[in-house]
Amino acid sequence: MVKALKSGDKVAWDSSGGHSVGHVVKKQTTPTKIKGHKVAASKDDPQYIVKSDKSGKQAAHKATELKKA
């Protein structure tokens, strides 16, 4: 079951730099680029754009990688 996340939700995830916390900016359902990286989002496989509380940077994550904080 896919988690229902919406803009503004506080979320946590594990990254190469350790544990991170931030907020959902939006649900991405079309391909895009973030910091030069391709985000292969679609309506069938959406990703969430999240903004880190610590660094202020944005990244895309699948719902399975995010936990509501």
16-27 pLDDT per residue, tens: 878 999 999 999
Average pLDDT over residues 7-20: 91
Residue 1 lies in a domain: no
| Token pair for 40 | 């292969």
Structure pTM?
A: 0.88
Q: What is the mean pLDDT of the chain?
A: 92
Q: How many domains does the chain have?
A: 1
Between CA 10 and CA 8 the distance in angstroms is 6
Query: Looking at residue 3, what is its pLDDT?
Result: 63
> Is there a domain that residue 3 lies in?
no
CA dist 56 and 66 (Å) reads 17
List 59's β-bridge partners, or say none.
50
Please indicate, yes or no, if residue 62 is contained in any of the structural domains.
yes
> In 3D, which of 44, 14, 12 has the Cα closest to residue 30?
44
Please check whether residue 48 lies inside any domain of the structure.
yes
Domain housing 31: 10-68
Alpha helices, DSSP H only, in the chain? none
